[in-house]
Every structure is written in C-alpha cells, then in structure tokens.
Amino acid sequence: MKAAAGLQSKLHYDETFNCVQCGYCLPVCPTYETMKSEVHSPRGRINLVKMLAEDKIKAEDLREPIEKCLGCRACETACPTSVQYGKILEGAKEVLENAEQKSITQKLSESLIFDQMFPSKRWMNTIGYLSWLYQKSGMQKMAQRTGITQFAPLHLGKFESVLPDLPSPAERKNRARLFKAIGSRKVTVGFITGCVMDAIFYETNRNTIDLLTKAGAAVLIPVNQTCCGALHAHAGKIADAKLLAKRNIEAFEKEKTDYIVNNAGGCGATLLEYGELFKGDIEWERSAQAFSNKVRDISQVLSELDGLSFTKEVNGTITFQPSCHMINVQKVKNEPLSLLKQVKSKGYREMNDKERCCGSAGIYNIVNYEDSMEILDSKMKNVKETNTSIIVTANPGCLLQMKLGIQREGLEKSVRAVHLVDLLVEAGAVSK
C-alpha cells in the first residue's frame, strides 16, 4: 500500500534522499557513541523515516529511535551532502505525536505543561517565587538533609540541588521595561527573556541587560512576549509552537529594534528558524523571516558593539562548553570565545570534542535521564582532562547539566559551571 502524500510531506520524504548513507555523521553523534546501534545514529534514523514514509514500517517502530535523539544537530554540521536532519526530525516528531494514543491523564498533564505553564509569564513567575521560597525558608536544606529529594519523580531531586540562587518576588516585580544605553546609544535591542530562563536564571537575565547597556545598547523588554516554542516543536507540537511564535512576532513588531537578543542557545536556534517554521504560509512567512533576521545571541551583539573592557581577574582556569544549537544551528562559534579570551584569568584551555552535546537537550535529561547521564559522563571525561576550574556555557540547560556533571564526579570543591554572561559580569565588565 502506498503511503499518503500528506504523510510523506510531513516526514520530509524528499529530503531523506539527500542522505547517501556515507556514515560521516556517525562519529559526531553522541547517541551512536553511547547506544552503539545503527537505529540510534542519524543515518539509521533517516532510513527509518524513509521506510515509514514508504509504508514499510509502522510509526511505533520509529518512536524509540526518534525519542532517543538529542536533536543536537551535530550530524547536520558534519554531513557532506547537507541533509536537513532538523527538518526530518521535527517532521517525524509531529507524525509520532499525532499517531500516539494518549490517556486522558496524559492529555491533561501535557495540556497543563505545554498550553498553560510555558506560555504564561504568571506561571513562570510563580515557579520562580516558589523556588525562591523553597530556598529561603530553609525547606531546601531540610529536604536535602533528610534525603527526601531522592524520592522526587523524574529524578527532579538531582536538578533541585543545582538550582542557582533565586531573586525575591519584589526584585522580580520591579524590573523596568526599558533600559537606556550607558554613554552614547549604538543600537536598540529587544530582549527575549525566555520562560525557564526568566523563572530560574533571572540573575543571568539581569546581567545580560547590564552588559548590553554598558556596551552601548538600549534594551527593551516587550511585555507580550512568550516562550519561544522550542520545547513544543521538539515534542512534535508544531501547531502550538506556531501559536507561540506568532505571539512573539506580534510583540516584537510593535517595537523599533535593530536586534532581537537572547542568551539561551536553544531558544536562539528556534527563534532563528521562525522563518522556516512558516515557510509557505502567505500570511506569516514574511514577518516570521523578518523576525528571524534580527535574532542574535548576546555574544554576537557584544562582539559587534565592542564596547566592554574587563577590570577584574577571575580566579581560575577556564574551559568552554558551547551549546549544540548555538554551534550547529545558529553557527555562533567565535564570538563567545573571543569574549572569554578578553577576560583576565589563570588561562583558557580548550576541551577535546567541546562541540559534542552534553546530554541536556531541552528536557531530554528529564525524560531520558539514564541515557542523558551516560552522555554526560562521557563529556565529563573531556572536562576533567582540561584540568580547569571554571566551565563556561551559554545555555541554561547545558549550565544545569554541567553542574550535575560536576556533582557526579565529586568535583564541587574544585570546579564550577557558570553562564558566559555571569562570568563577564564577574570579570568586572565596564563601558570602554
């Protein structure tokens, strides 16, 4: 029986023919390394997608290989024939999502997480408030002392222990919406605060604004912005991802900005692909592409403005763990390194295979905990070889994962993980 044309188009069947099965992508694929089977390699996954599109296998045969893919897109960077693996992966996720028979409880909990929590500032702020209360009331210390956290579902107890210090509700409430450039204004940027980023890494967001203004940018925070939709798209919920994208496009269209800046590699990649998300949509493609054209990682804007100098020495030697989406999708490689190298420290040391995914990958480390930890352990071998005391990352997920890696290796006394933005502030960033 011939598969329906609609299914083939959703699976990007035509694109699968660009894979010539050469295997150049195999050595860069973290899941192929740890799971050691063809179906967990890019080549194997593409082949399975093609077989589903040709009605040779069932959707369920594809589910595990696709769910175990990190979506790091290192295969895309390595591929000599430029296979658009990200497109194939996203299409497969959407097809699997639609084919899944879900219980009412599953539907309700997914709707709560994806439709209510992530798109809502109020929900995200509440998560931030509750986490602050948990830390400040002494509950966190008590929970850790009694070991109760080990009973938390989905290994969340492990993540709880690596949360940063959170700001009080008053500090959160009082943030302005407009920040003037210090000195003469070179550009005006709109800042994507992010959902998880603003709930948990509020301090990093504050530091981002601080660096931008010192470098000569006026910073606007559009009120109606929402979650970028990365988690929805990665879960195959493309219609939901599009709804969020439309809200962001409309929110930023109202402001006059030169750039739309983010400080989270994964979010940045999704924002950069809004144009692709609406390809062929007469009503939205143009504005989505215009939005994407303005998207920049904070390191790109700071490098371009070249308005900062660093006055304090950071105590320790530094290595850098880039985010996969920043490298493989945004193609931002040199800017974070060039900023890091301006920081006074005891030295910078490059990590072997630094571009290999750390296993965080959105919520992969929550839903595929054991697989993620195996990938992390492999990454930590390279981290240890650098013998450095500071691991710098540029994505909240990687940052938490690195903190977890430090804990797993028992390196808490000698090594710390920090977001690039926070390290630049610690290094005494001032206007030039």
Binding residues for ligand SF4 (CB under 6 A): 19-25, 28-31, 42-43, 45-46, 69-75, 78-79, 81, 83, 85
Give the chain's count of helices (H) and strands (E). Answer: 26, 10
Q: Which is nearer to ligand SF4, 198 or 371 (CB)?
A: 371
Tell me the residue ranges of DSSP E strands in 131-193. 178-179, 187-191
Burial of 373 (0-12, 13-18, 19+ CB in 10 A): buried
Please tell me whether residue 358 adopts helix, strand or coil conformation: coil
Shortest distance in whole angstroms from residue 22 CB to ligand SF4: 4
Q: Which two tokens stand for residue 276?
A: 């692709």
Shortest distance in whole angstroms from residue 46 CB to ligand SF4: 6
Place of tokens 């190298």: 341
Shortest distance in whole angstroms from residue 29 CB to ligand SF4: 3
Tell me the residue ranges of DSSP E strands in 144-224. 178-179, 187-191, 217-220
Shortest distance in whole angstroms from residue 64 CB to ligand SF4: 13
Phi, psi of 427 (to 5 degrees): -80, 15
Please tell me whether residue 257 adopts helix, strand or coil conformation: coil
Q: Which is nearer to ligand SF4, 72 or 143 (CB)?
A: 72
Shortest distance in whole angstroms from residue 43 CB to ligand SF4: 4
Task: Compute, in degrees rounded to 10, the torsion defined by CA atoms 66, 268, 134, 150.
Answer: 20
Q: Which is nearer to ligand SF4, 13 or 259 (CB)?
A: 13
Q: Closest Cα to residue 210, out of 385, 431, 60? A: 431
What is the Cα–Cα distance from 152 to 119, expressed in whole angstroms?
25
What is the Cα–Cα distance from 59 to 212, expressed in whole angstroms?
47
Angle between helices 85-99 and 59-67 (to 10 degrees): 120
Shortest distance in whole angstroms from residue 92 CB to ligand SF4: 11
Q: Which is nearer to ligand SF4, 164 or 265 (CB)?
A: 265
Q: Which is nearer to ligand SF4, 300 or 360 (CB)?
A: 360
What is the Cα–Cα distance from 384 to 415, expressed in whole angstroms?
9
Shortest distance in whole angstroms from residue 237 CB to ligand SF4: 19
What is the Cα–Cα distance from 114 to 59, expressed in whole angstroms?
23
Place of tokens 């492990």: 158
Shortest distance in whole angstroms from residue 229 CB to ligand SF4: 19
Q: Which is nearer to ligand SF4, 81 or 309 (CB)?
A: 81
Q: Which is nearer to ligand SF4, 21 or 184 (CB)?
A: 21
Q: Which is nearer to ligand SF4, 361 or 427 (CB)?
A: 361
